[in-house]
Structure formats: C-alpha cells, structure tokens
Amino acid sequence: MKRPLILLSIVSSMAALFTIQLVNGQSCGSTLSSTSGVIESPGFSMGNPYTSKCSWQIEASISSVVELTIEYFDLAVSESCADDSLTVYDGLESSSNVLLQPSCGLAIPWPAHPNTLLSTGRTITLVFTTNSTNSLSTFRASYKQVVPREEYFFAVDANNGIIYKQNRFGVNFEEIPISGLSRPVAVDYDPIEQKVYMTDVGRPMVSRVNLDGSGQEEIASVIVAVPDGLAVDPVSRVVYWTDVGSNVMGAIINVARLDGSFRRILVNTSIESPRDIVVQPYQGHVYWSDWGSVAKIERMNGDGTDRTEVVNSGLGWPNGIAIDMAGGKLYWADAQLNKIERSNLDGSARELLKAFDDDVHPFGLIFVDNALFWTDWTTKGIDVTDSNLQNDPSTLLVAGIPTRFHGLFPFY
C-alpha cells in the first residue's frame, strides 16, 4: 500500500546545536545516527542531583525518518515545567518546530498520545532540563529509523467549504485545493488510490478528488438530497453514504463502487435521520447512527442483509460514531445529551465515558491508536484524549481558523 509522503528538507551542512555535559560522570546529550537505540536521562536509576541541560539530536539516513517512543516519564511538576522538562523538536532545536511542548509530570500530555512521536524530516531533537529541586526526575525513550509515513486527519470546515489535511499534533496543515465546494460535511479516504471522498449538502452530491486537488469528479448527484455521512471500504472497493432525504425522497443508505457505478439503495425503511456511517472492512459490517424520533445505532452486512439495532435507548443526537477495530468497541458522541459512550460491537457492556457541560456540542468522532478525537462546535476545533477519557482533553485548533469543524478522518 502506498503512503502519502511529506518530507522537510534538512541541510546536512548545518551545525548541530546540542549540549554535551557530564553529570555524575555520565554523558549527557549527543548526536545519534544508529538505526535504533535508547536515550535515558543522566543517572536514570539514581536520579539527577545536579542542574543540567542535555540535548540529543537523532539523525536518520536518507529516505528515513525518526520514530521516538517515550517509555518512561517521571519529571517533577512545576509551573510551566520550569524545574524539569522534556521538549522534542521536529528537526533542530527551534521555537518554530516544537513537536512536544516542554513537559513534566507523570505522563506525556495530550495530544502526544500514544507516547510515540514521528519526525517529518530526517532529524529529531530531545532537550532535557533539570535542576537540583527534585533528584528523582527521570525519563527513558527509544528511537528507530522508519520509512516516512503521515499521521494526519482530514478536517471539514463546512461553513467555509474547505477540507484540510491536518497533522494530528496540530502542525503541518494544508488546504486541499477543491473547487466548487458549498457545504461539505463528511469526508473519507481511500489509501489504495489515494483519493479523498466527500459529501456536500450545499450542492447535493458525493464526489472524490486526488490529494493534490486534481482529478475532481462527481460520483453521485442524481437522487441526492442531504448526503450526511460517508464511509469508504478500501477492501471491498465500495463507498457508502447516508442521505436524510426530503419531502419527496425519504431517508436512505446508498452503496456504489468507488467510481459511482452500480449504485443501489441498501436501506429505505424504518430510517428517519441517518447521520454518521462507518465500516468494518474485514468483518464486512456497516454501522450508522440515526437521530430521528427514536434515535438508534444500527448495523448490517455490507450487502444490506442482517440488519439489527445495536443501541436503541438513551440516545438524543448520536452524531459521530467510531470503531476500535482491535479492541472490538463502538464509540458514539451524543450532541443533545452532551456525552460520549461506548459498548461492545453488539451493543452490550455499554458504559458512559464522559458527560460534558451543556455548552459542549460534539460532532465528528474517530478512534486512533487508543486515543479518541472529536470535533466540538463550542471549542471550534478538535479535542483529543485517551480512549477511556481519563485525561483532560486537549484542543487542536485546526489551521487556527475559528469555525465549526464537522468531520475528520485519519490516514497513514
């Protein structure tokens, strides 16, 4: 499977800005170019009794990037992490390319979860500072050189008719040049042909485009009223979308080949206001939410057979739904009841994860690497925390534009 690639040019002749000190006779900071290795704070097992600043610069070979995993983290907590801190830079040490803000405490703060960071170029730099206030501040990180990959989302700005490709750490965003969008709502991605699929309720249609904005084409515009949700099945090579319908046309769920051919209606009965839709490609299941007069979440086989209600009580406006494929969990965000819940894929073992204040309005929802991301019309950005919602969420202001973001989708 081909993966999109973005590399930042690193001038090899630039001098590395790092500090080498001896703390308790141990080396503190260096330039590393091995294919893999481990970095530890000075005196990892004994603590750091002296004030020090250490900088490790990891340099990957040509056509490789650095994957850094924080394996152990226990730094003294202080205001703005002034006493002890770990900072990671995407390249050389510079205020313009901070990948991990100065951090302290018992865990790497969100949204750097899981504790794995990825450089966009060949270099990544760690800077560790400590003073004599706490002699037990320690951390350990492992690194390895890997093939470049992206960890991005597609975020939909419905109000301004824009779809962004946004790094999950809040950096390296870019607008996909798509002409004629009116009010896009849902977006999905086919990693095989590297095409972006989207619905537009302003110009009722379903369309697709290449990542660079070329090859834009409509795949469905006839008998399309309010296309709300969208899901690409990259295995079966089909696309599903929900349509709220109109006075003339009732609500339906459609399926078609990725080019729009062989389109057919899978669901057109006992359905009122279908919103989000997701697929389980290898299991052949399709899930969708319906926030009609009797709100529910349903499931069917990819061909429309074996339709069943998964969750049919205690729902208001189930906007976004997401699946943890490995863990076998179904997540949903309810914008009317202001909460996020989850259950097993069959609806059993239902549990409330988070009840929000009344001013929260969650919309889009995705599960990525044991983290949960959702769009919030109140913060006007993307919130992220762990999949158990035990940590306070961090907010990514996508592209720094204060507007309502509806949908998002990860790709690698």
pLDDT in tens, 359-402: 788 888 888 877 888 888 777 778 888 788 877 777 776 665 55
List the end-to-end C-alpha distance of the chain, in Å, as a whole number.
10
Residues 229, 126 share a domain: no
Question: Mean pLDDT throughout 345-351?
Answer: 97
| Same structural domain, 140 and 275 | no
Q: CA neighbours within 13 Å on the CB side: how many for 108?
A: 24
Residue 96 banded pLDDT, cuts 50, 70, 90: confident
Q: What is the CATH number of the domain that holds 125?
A: 2.60.120.290
* pTM (two decimals): 0.77
Considering the domain architecture, whether residues 166 and 89 belong to the same structural domain is answered as no
Report d(CA 409, CA 192) in Å as an integer: 15
Q: What is the pLDDT of residues 215-255, one digit of tens each?
A: 999 999 999 999 999 999 999 999 999 999 987 889 999 99
For residues 197 and 69, membership in a common domain is answered with no
> What confidence tens digit (pLDDT) does each residue in 100-137 have?
888 888 877 655 455 788 898 999 999 998 875 655 67
Is residue 8 a part of any domain in this protein?
no
pLDDT of residue 111: 52
Query: Cα 69 from chain centroid?
Result: 18
The answer to whether position 130 is within a domain reads: yes
pLDDT of 349 above 50: yes
Name, in order, each residue with C-beta under 8 angstroms of 348's C-beta and a sequence gap of 6 or more: none
- Computed over its alpha carbons, how large is the radius of gyration of the chain? 23
Domain membership of residue 329 (yes or no) is yes
Same domain, 315 and 220: yes
Task: Report the number of distinct structural domains present in the chain.
Answer: 2
Residue 96 neighbours by CB under 8 Å, 6+ apart = none
Q: Choose between 171 and 349: higher pLDDT.
A: 349
Residue 1 within any structural domain of the chain = no
Handedness of CA 188, 189, 190, 193 (dihedral sign): positive
Q: What is the mean pLDDT of the chain?
A: 84
Residue 388 lies in a domain: yes
| Same domain for 116 and 157 | no
Task: Taking residues 75-104, report their average pLDDT.
Answer: 88
pLDDT for res 15: 30
Tell me, what CATH number does 375's domain have? 2.120.10.30
For 281-331, the DSSP string reads TTTTEEEEEE-SSS-EEEEEETTS-S-EEEE-SS-S-EEEEEEETTTTEEE
What is the longest distance spanned by two Cα atoms in the chain? 80
Residue with tokens 């969208």: 230
Answer yes or no: is pLDDT of 171 > 70: no
Cα separation of 191 and 176, whole Å?
Answer: 16
Q: What is the pLDDT of residue 22?
A: 39
Shared domain for 246 and 296, answered yes or no, is yes
- Rounded Cα–Cα distance for residues 253 and 269 (Å): 10
Domain boundary among 146, 167, 190: 146
> Is the pLDDT reported for residue 192 higher than 50?
yes
Host domain of residue 84: 21-146
CB 288 within 8 A of CB 229: yes
Q: Are residues 116 and 182 both part of a single domain?
A: no
